[in-house]
Structure 1
Amino acid sequence: MECRTQLMKTMPERLNKHTFFFPVFRDRMYPGWKVDLGYRALGLFGSRDAPLNYRRLPAKAAARQFGLVQLMDQSRLDSVGVFTEYQYNWAERICLDTVLDAEQCGATVRNYTKAVKLEPLPGRSWLVTLEDMREPGSTVQVRASILINAAGPWADQVNGQAVQNPRKRLVGIKGVNVMVKLPDECHGLGMETISSIGQPFYCMPWGKYHFFGPTEAVFDGNPEDVRVLPEEVEFILNEANKLFPSLALSREDVVYTWSGVRPRTASTGHEGVKSLTIHDMEGDGMPNALTLTGTPIMLHRHAGRAIARKVKQMLRPSQKEKPLSYEAKLFPENQNSPPIDYDFPGVKVADLRHAAAHEHVETLVDLLFRRVPLGWNIGMGLSSARHAAEAVADILDWDEERVTAEVSNYTHFVQENFNPSWPAPVQG
C-alpha cells in the first residue's frame, strides 16, 4: 500500500484509478466478515492520498449500481466488497522511466547488452565481460566493487556464469492472461477473487476491454520461451464463466493472450515460495555479490531502496548523492504532430521521434511496446507498424531493408507472443 501511494503521488500518469469488487459467494470459504477484516486491515496501510475506500454492499444493491456485478452469478452471490484500485498500467514504461532517471544521475545505460562472463578478482571485486547483442562478438570488460544481480527470472542463470552449481534462488511462476470484450456497462470496473483452486484471480479493465487471469504454475524453462497453452486459456475461461455464467465465454471471444514468468523467491521445506529477498552470495563463492528475487513491479522502488541501503553498508559512495526524480518521463507537448494511428490518437509521430532520439530504442518492438503504448492497444500497432518504422528511420539510421525487417520482426513478435484473433496485415 505504501508503494502504491508513492507511485500514485509521484507518477500518476502510470496508474489507472478503477472501482474493483471482491465477490462474497455463499459457497466459498471467505464469508463477508473475513473479507471486511482483510480489507480494513489493508486499508490501515494506505493514506489519504490513495485511500482504499472499502465498503461492502448487499448483492442486489451492488447489482443495481454496477454493471459488472449484474453479470455475476446472482444465485450464489451474497454481497460484494467494493474498493478503489490503482492499476499499474504500463510496467515496461515504469521500468524505462526509472532507467532514464538513473542515467540522469550518472549511470551508464546499455540496452541489449548481456553479461556473458563473471570473474571474481582478488580484493573481493569483479571483472564482468559484456557482449553487445546487436553486434555479436563485440565485447568489453568492466570492473566492479559490488555485483548486483537483478536479472529477474534469469537470476539463477546469471549466477551460474560466476560459479558452478550455485544454490537455486528463485522459482519461476508462469502467469497467463486472456483478453476479451465485456458489455459496455462493465467499462472501467474490475474484480479480484480467489479461484476454484485457491489462487488469486482477477478481471482487469483495459481500455474498452478486460483481461482475466492469471494462472500460477511453476515454470522451469527459459523465460524467453514461455508461451500460452490451450489448456491454460480453457482454465481461465472456465474460471471466468463460474463467476459470470451469463457471459458463456469461449475461445471465440478471446481477443489475444499473453504470458510471462514472475521470479518468486525459492524456499526450502514446506515454505513454498517467498517474496522480496536480497541474497548475499558470499556463501556461494561470490563475495560482494547480491541477488534480488521476488520483486513484482509494485515493489520495485522498495526493492531499490533496500538494495541501496545494503550497498551503502558495503561500499563508501564515490560521488555526492544526487536527487532522484520519481516523475513519469513524458513526451514534449506537440499538438501539431499527427497521431501515428487515428484510432489511437494518444500517440503522435513526434512522440515516436523523441523516443527514438533519446530513449535507447533499438527495435520497432522497443518503440511500440516499451516507449509508446501503441503495442498494448487492441490493434497492437500492426496496421501502423510500417508507418511508425518509417517515421523514425532517419533517426535510427534504418534503410528500406531494415525498415522492412523491423516490421516483419514486429509482426512475428505479436503473433508469437499474443496470438491475436485477427490476421496479420499484409506488408507492402
Structure 2
Amino acid sequence: MTTDRLASLDGRDFDVVVVGGGAAGASATQNLAAKGFRTLLVEQGDFASGTSSRSSRLLYCGLSYFSPDYPLWRAIFNPRDMMRRVQMVQLAMGCRTELASASPERVKPYDFVFPVKQRSEYPRWKVALGYRALSLFGSAKVPLAYRHDPMPDAAREGLVSFMDPSELVGVARFREYQYDWAERICVDAVMDAERLGATVANYIRVTGFHREGDNWCLTLENGSLPGRRPSQDNRRAEVRARFLVNTAGAWVDRLLKQGPGQHPRHVIGEKGINLVVKLPDTCRGQGMETISSKGQPFYLMPWGDYHFFGPTQTVFEGPPEDVRVLPEELDYVLSEANQVFPSFQLTRDDVVYSWAGVRPRTSNASANVMRVFTIHDLAKEGLENAIAVTGVPIMVHRHAGRSIAAWVAARATPSGQSGQLNPGAQLLPADDGSAIGNVPVTSLRAAAQREHVHCLLDLMFRRVNMGWQPDMGLPHAEATARAVADILDWDEVRIATEVNAYRAFVVTNFNPAIARSQAVAA
C-alpha cells in the first residue's frame, strides 16, 4: 500500500508541502486546501501519532498564563511578557469557545476545583483575581462559571472531601473542557482536507529537500510501521512545491537537518507524564488543578470512570520517539497526588496505565519571554518560501492552521478552487449490529476502508476510541484485526503480526495493569 502511494506521488507538483501530520499540520493542510492551494501532507508515522497522541486532553482555559505565582512587578519591568500573556489567555479562551461550539461531539465539560490553602503563596484574592481576569475573555456560550466555595461547605462531597480540611480556606470552582480524544480531532481535520482536494500520506518520510529554481524538491521514502523493522524498500519519490511548511513538532529541527544550510535550534523538548487511577465513585467526572511543590501546574483529570494525574515538566534531549515513563517520575506524580489527596494513599499498584510525551516548546534565548506559538520565516536562514512552526498546543491548532494558511496566501495565489471548510467532527457510521469493545463493527470497517489505516494501532487508537480504554483494547485486538482483515488484505500471518505489534507497543509505552497482572499470572 505504501509503495503504491510513493509511485503515485513521484514527479508531482504542489503549491505547498506540509511535513508533519499532528495538530498543527492537519489544521494547516485543511485551511490551505480550503483556500484552493494544491497541498500535500506527509507524515513519517500515522497522523496524530506524535505529540498530539500524548496530549493532556485539556481544552485549557489558560490559567497558567495568569498563574497565581506570577510576580506582578514583572509586568512593569517586562511589559512584552505581560502582553504575550494577555494575548495567550485571549487566544486560549477563544479557541476553547470555538472547539466546544463547533465540535461538541469531541469535547466534554467537567467541573474543576482549585484548592485555596491557608498560609499559601496563592491566597484567595490572588486566585480570584486570576479567574476573574480569565472570565473577561470568556463567552456566554462556553462560560468559565467561576465561583468560590468556602469551608466547610466546600468539603461536604466529591473530590474536596478527600483533601485535608485543616489546610483549606475553600476552593475555586470552574468549568474546563476535555477532548474526548485528541488524535481523532487531528484525523477529522486530515479527512476534511482530503475532501477539499489535499493529498495526504501517512508513513511517508522526508529524507532530503533542496531548491530547484523557485521550487522546493523533496525526496520521500517509506516510513516504518510501529514495532516493525525499518523499511528495507529503497524506492523513492520526488515532489516539488513552491512552499515548504515544517510542522514536524518535536522533530522540527531534525527535519531541517535533511536540507541545506545550518540552522539554530527552534524547539526545546519538554517531557510530561500522566498516570491513570481509579478513584471512588463520588469523584467521577470531577477534576482539580493546582500548583505542585515544584511550582508547576498539576492536575487531576476525569477520564470516563477513571482519572489521571500529571504532568511533569522536564527538558528532554533524546529522540522524541524514545520517551518513556521512568520509575522516579511515577513516584513524583504519586507523591504530589497524595499531598493534595492524603486520603487516597496511592501507590504504583493503583496505576492503571501511564504515558509520556514530548511537548515541542518554542526555543527562545530569553528565559523571561514566554515560549508561544511561533511561525519561523526560514528565509532568514537561507530557506526562501519555507517556514517552521513551533509551540502549538492542540487547543490552538485551528488558530495555527489559519495563521499558516494566511502566511502562504499573502505570498501566492492558489492554483485550485477554494472550498468550504468543515470544522465539525467527521463521524463514522454506526448501527445497532455487532460491536467489539463497545465499538460498532460498521465503524471499524468504515475507518479501515477510507481513513488511511495501515496497522492495528492506527485503527484502535486514532480512528476509533478503543486504545485509551482501561484495558487499552488488549482483549479486543485480535477480534478487531479480524473484523477488518478483508478490507486491509491481511492474512493469518499478518493478523498475528498486527496483534503482537499492538500488544508490544501498548506494554512498552503504557505499562498497563492488565498486562502486568497477566505477566504475574504466567
TM-score by length of 1: 0.96
Q: Secondary structure at the match of 2:137?
A: coil
Number of residues paired by the alignment?
419
Partner of 2:117: 25
Which residue in 2 is equivalent to 1:68? 159
The equivalent position to 1:113 in structure 2, one of 173, 193, 204, is 204
Whether the aligned pair in 1 keeps the contact of 2:272 and 2:358 (CA below 8 Å) is yes
Partner of 1:176: 273
Q: Name structure 2 gaps, 5 residues minimum.
A: 1-92, 225-230
Shift of 1:272: 6.2
Q: Supply the AA of the counterpart residue of 1:108.
A: T
Q: Does 1:137 pair with 2:227?
A: no
Task: List runs of 5+ in structure 1 lacking aligned partners.
Answer: none
Q: Aligned-residue CA RMSD in angstroms?
A: 1.3
1:110-155 C-alpha deviation (Å, 9 max, x unpaired):
01111111112222x2001111225632321110101000001000
Aligned to 2:494: 402
Q: Of the candidates 228, 241, 262, which is equivalent to residue 165 of structure 1?
A: 262
**Residues 28 and 163 (structure 1), Cα distance of their counterparts in 2 relative to 1, 3 Å cut:** farther
The 8 Å contact of residues 250 and 269 in structure 2, kept in 1 or not, is answered as yes
Match in the other structure for 1:77? 168
2:216 corresponds to which residue? 126
Q: 1:99 matched to which residue of 2?
A: 190
Cα distance in 1, alignment partners of residues 127 and 221 from structure 2:
51
Give every structure 1 segment of 4 or more consecutive aligned residues whose post-TM-superposition deviation is greater than 6 Å: none
Partner residue, 1:370: 462
Partner of 1:282: 379
Give deviations 1:306-327, integer Å, cap 9, x for gaps: 1111111111111232110011
Whether the 8 Å contact between 1:163 and 1:284 is mirrored in structure 2 is: no
**Cα deviations across residues 353-374 of structure 1 (Å, max 9, x unaligned)?**
0000010000100000000010
- Which secondary structure does the structure 1 equivalent of 2:302 belong to? strand
Q: Confirm whether residue 242 of structure 1 aligns to residue 339 of structure 2.
A: yes
Structure 1 residue 273: deviation in Å?
A: 5.5
Give the equivalent residue in structure 2 for 1:43. 135
> In the aligned structure 1, how far is the partner of 2:243 from the partner of 2:269?
25
Aligned partners of 2:430 and 2:440 also within 8 Å = no
Q: For 1:422, what is the secondary structure of its paired residue?
A: helix
User: Do the aligned partners of 1:264 and 1:273 also contact (CA within 8 Å) in 2?
Assistant: no
Partner of residue 363 from structure 2, selected from 261, 266, 288 = 266
Contact 2:461 2:468 in 1 (8 A): yes
Q: Map Cα deviations across residues 200-241 of structure 1 (whole Å, 9 max, x no partner).
A: 110000011110000000111110000000000011001001
TM-aligned CA deviation for residue 79 of structure 1: 1.0
CA displacement 1:76-116 (0-9 Å, x = unmatched): 11110001111122111000000001101100010111111
User: With CA pairs under 8 Å and 6+ residues apart, which has the higher RCO, 1 or 2?
Assistant: 2
Query: For the residues of structure 2 that align with 1:154 and 1:91, how far apart are their CA atoms?
Result: 19
Distance in 2, matches of 1:39 and 1:393, equals: 51
Q: TM-score, normalised by structure 2?
A: 0.79
1:252 corresponds to which residue?
Answer: 349
- The question of 1:9 aligning with 2:105 is answered no
Using the TM superposition, give the Cα deviation of residue 164 of structure 1 relative to its aligned residue in structure 2, in angstroms.
4.2
What does residue 338 of structure 1 align with?
A: 434
Q: For residues 512 and 369 of structure 2, what CA distance do their matches in structure 1 show?
A: 35
Note if 1:293 corresponds to 2:390. Answer: yes
2:435 aligned partner, one-letter code: P
2:177 aligned with 1:86, yes or no?
A: yes
Residue 271 of structure 1 deviates from its aligned partner by 3.2
- Give, in whole Å, the separation in 1 of the partners of 2:173 and 2:500: 45
